[in-house]
């Protein structure tokens, strides 16, 4: 796969850094040097969308920020997500329920994305499928 083929792809990386009493995994060498401290403190792995390329690094966006990684650190490529973090959405069946996408996960068993929203800054415990939400221009609150 060419490096440019990763643009707009949703990816999950291999473990970036992990250390406990039994093992140490250190793949920080595959992270752009300027991002290594951030990566070590915030990520065990990265799940996000490739939004660009900087030299030999992919620019990956997720809810925690932007991280630049080498393509060989990618473990999985997923289908495109219907929503991204911070998108304003509303429920299809109850349009009065409006919120902001706070978290996105890939559900392995169902082979689809699940979305978590917040309303007025408070996380809802409900997990949504992509068909249960639509984009809205504002929260209207």
Question: What are the counts of helices (DSSP H) followed by strands (DSSP E) for the chain?
Answer: 1, 13
| Residues 6 or more apart in contact with residue 83 via CB below 8 angstroms | 89, 101, 104, 113, 115, 130, 133, 135
- Provide the percentage of residues in the chain whose pLDDT is more than 70: 97
Average pLDDT over residues 26-40: 94
- pTM for this prediction: 0.87
More confident residue, 45 or 42: 45
Q: Tell me the per-residue pLDDT of 116-126, one tens digit each, with 9 for 90 and over.
A: 999 999 999 99
DSSP code of 36? H
Q: What's the token pair of residue 84?
A: 């991204």
- Give CA separation, 115 vs 24, 42, 96, 124, 139, in Å: 32, 21, 18, 10, 17
């Amino acid at each position: 796969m060419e490096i440019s083929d990763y643009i707009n792809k949703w990816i999950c990386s291999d473990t970036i850094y992990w250390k406990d009493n039994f093992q140490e995994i250190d793949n920080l060498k595959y992270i752009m040097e300027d991002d290594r401290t951030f990566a070590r403190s915030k990520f065990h792995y990265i799940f996000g969308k490739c939004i660009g390329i900087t030299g030999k690094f992919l620019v990956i966006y997720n809810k925690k920020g932007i991280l630049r990684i080498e393509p060989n650190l990618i473990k999985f490529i997923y289908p495109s997500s219907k929503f991204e973090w911070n998108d304003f959405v509303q429920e299809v069946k109850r349009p009065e329920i409006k919120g902001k996408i706070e978290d996105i996960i890939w559900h392995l068993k169902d082979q689809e994305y699940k979305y978590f929203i917040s309303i007025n800054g408070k996380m809802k415990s409900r997990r949504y499928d992509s068909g249960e939400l639509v984009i809205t221009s504002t929260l209207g609150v």
